[in-house]
Amino acid sequence: MRHILFSVACGILTPPLCLAQQPVPDEPPGEDEQIIQPEVSRLPEKLPKIDTEDFEVGAFIGLYSLEDFGTEVQYGTQAAYHVTEDIFFEGVFALAEVSDTTFRSIGLSLFPEEDQTLSYYNLSVGFNLLPGELFLGRKTAYTAQVYVIGGLGNTDVADEGYFTINYGIGVRILGNDWFAVRVDFRDHVFDTDIVGRSKTTHNLALQTGLTIFF
């Protein structure tokens, strides 16, 4: 009977009084609340392994172009000390065979003998510019560093020594944590009077070699 009377009263009384007795639905989630949490699968990271040792030694072979005398094969050794991750000091010693055959064909003998051994050494400082990766295909990548380098040294040819400035650019490709492949392109600049007049010569060298860290 009480329930019947309450229903009749709700029909007579002000509707808000009855609505106050009804349960209030939950408010919808705010705009800042994320309903679905995304599940993103992360690929495992593979950090490049670089040996922590500071010394690098190796050997190289390449081409050396002595201005006015053509291009010949060169070979040599190099050793570097890495002061920091960005700076290293390097020493190089190399040999190449040069010839004045072209000049002898017109009656000029510029060297004591037709074939001469050219040697040079230098001490340089290098700066690593662009560390990154070299991709060979879609699944193979190697850690690589592009660097600039420059320094001072000496070039000996035909029993004469010439003070030499060298500068250039190179790339170091790490095969693993102790082994690397290097490719360098440099200009060796020195003053010479071999051809009968004094002039500044630019002698380009391209070389590739293998180095190890220890």
CATH number of the domain bearing residue 186 = 2.40.160.20
The answer as to whether 6 is a domain residue is no
CA separation for the pair 173, 177 (Å, rounded): 11
CA separation for the pair 128, 146 (Å, rounded): 6
CA separation for the pair 112, 104 (Å, rounded): 11
Helices within 49-100 (DSSP H only):
none
Per-residue pLDDT of the chain in tens (214 residues, 90 and over written 9)? 555 545 545 555 455 544 445 555 555 555 555 566 666 655 554 444 444 579 999 999 999 999 999 999 999 999 999 999 899 999 999 999 999 988 988 888 889 899 999 999 999 999 999 777 777 767 777 788 999 999 999 999 988 999 999 999 999 998 887 899 999 999 999 999 988 889 999 999 999 999 999 9
Under a CB-based contact definition with an 8 Å cutoff, are residues 171 and 144 in contact?
Answer: yes
Extract the runs of DSSP E, i.e. beta strands, from 37-114: 55-66, 70-82, 87-99
pLDDT at 34: 59
**Residue 104: helix, strand or coil by DSSP?**
helix
| β-strand partners of 181 | 173, 210
How wide is the angle at C-alpha 120 spanned by C-alphas 115 and 125, nearest 5°?
Answer: 155
pLDDT at 42: 59
The answer as to whether 151 is a domain residue is yes
pLDDT at 205: 98
CA separation for the pair 108, 131 (Å, rounded): 50
The answer as to whether 146 is a domain residue is yes
Domains of the chain: total: 1
The answer as to whether 191 is a domain residue is yes
CA separation for the pair 144, 36 (Å, rounded): 42
CA separation for the pair 91, 204 (Å, rounded): 18
The answer as to whether 173 is a domain residue is yes
Beta carbons within 8 Å of 210's beta carbon, 6+ residues apart: 58, 59, 60, 179, 180, 181, 182
Under a CB-based contact definition with an 8 Å cutoff, are residues 73 and 97 in contact?
Answer: yes
pTM strictly above 0.75: no
The answer as to whether 172 is a domain residue is yes
The answer as to whether 23 is a domain residue is no
Q: Quickly tell me which residue has 């190890």 as its tokens.
A: 212
The answer as to whether 178 is a domain residue is yes
Domain membership of residue 177 as a residue range: 55-213
